Structures are given as C-alpha cells and as structure tokens.
Amino acid sequence: MLYRERKLETPHGSIQTPILFPVRNVGKRSSDNTPEYTDMIPDLRTGMVNSRAIRLRRPLWERLENGRSLREEMGVPDNTVLFADSGGFDFSSEKIDTTPEETLNTQQKIEADIYGTVDVPLSKGMRASENQRRVKENIDRALTASENHSGDALLFGSVHGYDPRTIRNGIRHLEKHGEFDGYAIGSMVPIRSDYKRVTKILLAARRSTDKHIHVYGLGGLVYQPLLLYLGMDSFDSSAFIRSAGNRNYLIPGFGGTELHSIEELEYLPCSCPICGSNTLGEIRSNRDFLTKHNLWALTTELRRFRYIAATGTDVESYLDLRFEGNEVTKRAYDMAKQQMRRLV
C-alpha cells in the first residue's frame, strides 16, 4: 500500500494530508451553490478555486484590487488553505486566454496557498497528435511558471497524459528542469470510468516522485479509497454540489440515492449535524442542507480510511469489503494490489 500521511506547510498554516479540496464556485455564476462549511467540519479548512473565473468576474476582481481579501468574499476564516488552479477546465471549450505570468499574478493577488500551473485538458475524442501537443505545451507552461514563481506559496506543476509513460516522462522532465513543490495530475475526469487505466496512470505518477501529488476532479466517494490506496496526497471534488443539484444523497460505501425515491423514512441514516437534526423532508427541500451533508459524506470517507490506518487494521481487508459491491472498481483495485506486490 502506498497510503501515506504528511504535513503540508502553506502560508496560511499546515494541513494534514491526504486531504480533500472541495471545489468553491467563487467567481462563477453558481457561486451560491457552495454553502460555508469550514466552521462545521474542523478538519476541512481547504478549498479549490478557479483563478480565471475570479479574474474575469469584474465586480469581484475590482473589490480584490481595492484591498478586500478573497477569504472575506468567501466568508471563511483567514487560516483557510486555498488551492487556485488556472481554470484549465474552461479551456476545454474556450480558447486559452491567459499566460503563466498572468495566472501567477492572479494567484498571488487572491493570496492562494497552492498554485496550479496553466493547463489545457486532453480529450478522448481528439486526435492523438493534438493531445500530444497539449501535453507538451502544458509542460512548457509549467516550466515558465517555475521560472517566474517567487514567494512562499507552493507551486504544483500540472501534468496531463492518457498513458503511464507520458505522465512519468512529464513529471521527470519537470523535476529535472524546474522547481516544483508537487504535481497535479489532470485530464482524468474524461476517462474516469476506465478505472484500470486511471489506476495505472496514478501509479506511474506516484513512482515518479516522492513529492506531493494532487489529482484534479476525482475526489468523489467512488474514487477516494482508491486514490488513498495509491498514495495520492490530495484531490478535489465538486461531487457534493452536483449531487445536491440532482437531489442525490451520498452515503459512503453506497454511492448516491435520489431523495425522491425515499418515502417511508422520517430521518436519514447519517449522523452528521445536518441529518442528525433535520428530517428527510427538510433536507429534501433545502439544497444547502443536502450540499453540506454530501460534503460530510466525502469527509467521512476520508476519516474512515484514516481510522482504519491508525488502528492498524489491515487496509486491504477493509478495501476488499469496500469494493465488493462494484465489480468495475473491484477489478481496478485488484489490479492495483497486484502492482503493489511487485514493488515489495
């Protein structure tokens, strides 16, 4: 097992890894979809923000330029650790409209703790030559960011690829020619249903460096245990928001259930502060309640894994049970186990 626990020191304090970075929609038109949670979940004072969206939201950007802090805008404590990506996912459908230097300036202005370098995602439906061009340009942009980066914030080089060799070569090239505090693996969301492929790619990333590895977009209930087993240090997710928008109620080990299909219960089975003090009807009618519960579910998944590791319980026995109900993820996990045994 590659699971590991470390402390990550940032300008706004240290955090224990592995850790989830919930996606915060600040700057987007849907910014009100993310209710405040840092005062409710003590071990989750983190957030993932989109630098491009913040810069392009003129009223917000003007307030920041006039001295207001992003944390004030978000209504979060000053010790909240923010990871600012480049907004690269927007470039899937829009022309890239920033440079590494401009993105660094934005990340510095919003006082982010972790900077993700400018990246353009790959696409399954795109020609291999175009994807390869994007792979190279993402590496070049990361190196430009390394040359221009200064200050205490951490810099994570964004690395994309649809095969282990590309990821391994990308990380090794950045290690040799740049200065990075860690790496962020992108373009996994379009291939997330191919669990074996994603597992091989992330294993290649983990073997390529001992530095922090973040995985963009795969921090939901299904992937979290697998990412932890593979030694990933952090991950982000908007699943708690998207699921709430579809009235899906998340439960670790079971996935999501549409609340309209539940009629007989007065209270739901979770013991989080939301479910412990509100009825099914109240949660069903209040999107903020459901969003907060779903975030508790993601946090519980992480806490449960940490507990298993801390008690000395055999993690593989736990995961054997955890993945038993899903044949696809079980095959990916079994393959990961085989890969691990080749390492020892």
The domain segmentation of the chain, as residue ranges, is: 6-237, 247-343
> Which residues are CB-neighbours of 344 under 8 A, at least 6 positions away?
none
Residue 205 CA to chain centroid, in angstroms?
A: 16
pTM here is 0.94
Token digits of residue 90: 């927007």
Token digits of residue 163: 């095969």
Architecture, CATH, for domain 6-237 = Alpha-Beta Barrel (3.20)
> Which residues are CB-neighbours of 118 under 8 A, at least 6 positions away?
86, 88, 96, 98, 99, 100, 103, 138, 141, 142, 145, 158
CB atoms within 10 A of CB 172: 12
Task: Give dist(CA 79, CA 55) in Å, integer.
Answer: 22
Per-residue pLDDT 10s for the chain (344 aa) are 789 999 999 999 999 999 999 999 887 665 556 777 878 898 899 999 999 999 999 999 999 999 999 999 998 999 999 999 998 777 766 678 889 999 999 999 999 999 999 999 998 888 999 999 999 999 999 999 999 999 999 999 999 999 999 999 999 999 999 999 999 999 999 999 898 899 999 999 999 999 999 999 999 988 999 999 999 999 999 999 989 989 999 988 777 888 988 888 999 999 999 999 999 999 999 999 999 999 999 999 999 999 999 999 989 888 888 888 777 778 888 888 887 777 54
